[in-house]
Amino acid sequence: MTDAMQLENAILQRLSEVIDPETGIDVVRMRLLEDLTVSEKGEVAYTFRPSSYLCPIAVSLSMAILNAVSEVKGVTRQKVTVVDYIQAEVLNNLLNETLGNPDGG
């Protein structure tokens, strides 16, 4: 197993502890994350798709996901893209600022 695969498994394990408070189910089982990629350098990219276009907890849930991924040893950088959410552009800007990626990348 490569380092990237081990890191991906660690990320998924950590994300399985992030619970959607509306459903009581973790974000991995709810399939709220898509296109997870992990490089050998620890660079992680993924798409967050809230459970609905008007999801009232999209901001707090995306921050919980962001924080969970950042806690995994070996993660050096994150890029998250929010899709299918009414305020996706605003939320993407907020997350990228939080991550120190003002240009979105």
pLDDT at position 102: 63
List pLDDT tens digits, range 29-43: 999 999 999 999 999
Single-letter residue type at 69: V
Percent of the chain past pLDDT 70, that is, above it, reads 94
pLDDT above 70 (res 27): yes
For 3-99, CATH number?
A: 3.30.300.130
- What's the pTM value of the predicted model, to 2 decimals? 0.90
The CA-CA-CA angle for residues 37, 58, 60, to 5°, reads 95
pLDDT digits (tens, 9 = 90+) for 40-55: 999 999 999 999 999 9
